[in-house]
Amino acid sequence: MEYVYYPRDDDEKIISEYKHMFELKTLEELVKAYNKEAKCGIVGVHRQALYLIALRKEFLERFGESPIYIVDKVVLGMVGGIGIKSGQLKILE
């Protein structure tokens, strides 16, 4: 599941709004939000990419890692379903 991301003028503002929303969520709520996206898959909608970028930033801040990756500042992807075990992110088989 990957998406080629091309930045647009208002992206940072939208990402910031999503990021603020994620700051208010519990870890379990973040995992649930991510797993919903992973189940649906990346559908190629630009707004979904912004949502995932903001979610990635929140995971990095809270866990120091993220199941959402960015390659060469362009390719956005997800590793699949996740859970939390002993306060750490765990990729589900």
Nearest-angstrom CA–CA distance, 66 and 33: 13
Q: Is the Cα torsion angle 81, 24, 76, 72 positive or negative in sign?
A: negative
Q: What is the pLDDT of residue 92?
A: 87
pLDDT digits 0-9 by tens, 2-17: 999 999 999 999 999 9
Q: pTM score, two decimals?
A: 0.94
- Helix ranges (H only) for 6-91 are 11-23, 27-40, 46-63
